[in-house]
């Protein structure tokens, strides 16, 4: 995860930027509230008539706050970031093995998506989306357990990779629905 390494969080983590404990089970309300506080203090709109040096700092800080907020808000990227902080790259090339049952499920989902696309069945895609989002929530519960409680990196990495994968499938379904609706 490339932090731009500029702005207030030079050598600080995204969690430190927002004053949050680094864990998967995040207080989202606090994240949002602290994000707003930082933007209130650093947003370019506050520096329209300021000196160029301050404008530059404002851009760097506000940009970083946006990047950090997005990274922590999304469960998949949050998990990936937490692992990165512990030196683990969840999507490294060497890490391509996926358990067979997960691969089977992926294939079933892909087939269902293709069928729905051919039949232009938006309702089927909507219910598939709901089903997959359910699976995502189950994975997230597992991540709270493995990253925060048991601190089991192997299990956490496994769950994270699945979550990232599922995130992508959901995004693809949404895009497909949007196209079919046109």
Partner 1 sequence: MALLQISEPGQSAAPHQHKLAVGIDLGTTNSLVATVRSGMSSVLIDDDGHALLPSVVRYLADGNVDVGYEAQAAQSIDPANTIVSAKRFMGRSLAEIDVSTQPYHFVENASGTEKQSASEKPFETKKMVRIQTRAGVKSAVEISAEILKSLKTRAEKSLGGELVGAVITVPAYFDDAQRQATKDAARLAGLNVLRLLNEPTAAAVAYGLDNNVAGTYVIYDLGGGTFDVSILKLSKGVFEVLSTNGDSALGGDDFDRRIFCWLLEQSHCKPLNANDTRLLLTKAREAKEWLTDHANAQITSVLSTGEVIDLTLSAKKFNELTQTLVAKTLNPTKKALRDADLSIDDIKGVVMVGGATRMPQIRLAVADFFKQTPLTNLDPDKVVALGAAIQANTLAGNKSDADLLLLDVIPLSLGLETMGGLVEKVIPRNSTLPIARAQEFTTFKDGQTAMSIHVLQGERELVSDCRSLAKFELRGIPPLVAGSARIRVTFTVDADGLLSVSAREMTTNIEANIVVKPSYGLSEEQILTMLQSSFGAAETDKQARALAEAKVEATSLILAIEAALQQDSALLTQSEIESILAALADLKTLSNGQDSQAIHQATEALNVATEAFAAKRMDASVSRALSGKSVESLDL
Rounded Cα–Cα distance for residues 135 and 142 (Å): 11
Query: Rounded to an integer, what distance in angstroms lies between the CA atom of residue 29 and that of residue 101?
Result: 35
Interacting stretch for partner 1, rule CB under 8 A, among 34-42, 75-83, 93-101, 159-167?
Answer: 34-42
Cβ 98 to partner 1 shortest distance, Å: 25
Stretch that binds partner 1, among 38-46, 87-95, 106-114, 141-149 (CB under 8 A): 38-46
Query: What is the pattern of x (binds partner 1, CB under 8 A) and - over residues 96-135?
Result: ----------------------------------------
58 sits near partner 1 (criterion: CB under 8 A): yes
Q: Which is nearer to partner 1, 113 or 147 (CB)?
A: 113
Cβ atoms of 72 and 78 closer than 8 Å: yes
User: Within 10 Å of residue 122's Cβ, how many Cβ atoms?
Assistant: 14
Inter-axis angle of helices 153-181 and 100-119, nearest 10:
10
């Amino acid at each position: 995860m490339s932090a731009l390494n500029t702005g207030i969080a030079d050598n600080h983590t995204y969690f430190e930027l927002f004053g949050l404990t680094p864990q998967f089970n995040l207080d989202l309300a606090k994240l949002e509230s602290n994000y707003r506080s930082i933007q209130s203090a650093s947003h370019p709109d506050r520096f329209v008539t300021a000196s160029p040096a301050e404008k530059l700092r404002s851009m760097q800080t506000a940009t970083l706050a946006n990047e950090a907020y997005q990274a922590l808000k999304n469960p998949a990227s949050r998990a990936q970031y937490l692992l990165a902080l512990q030196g683990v790259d969840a999507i490294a090339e060497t890490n391509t093995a996926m358990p067979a049952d997960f691969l089977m499920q992926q294939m079933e989902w892909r087939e269902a998506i293709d069928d729905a696309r051919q039949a232009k069945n938006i309702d089927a895609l909507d219910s598939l989306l709901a089903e997959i989002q359910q699976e995502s929530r189950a994975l997230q519960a597992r991540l709270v357990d493995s990253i925060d409680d048991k601190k089991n990196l192997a299990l956490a990495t496994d769950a994270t990779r699945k979550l990232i994968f599922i995130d992508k499938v959901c995004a693809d379904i949404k895009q497909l629905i949007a196209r079919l609706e046109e």
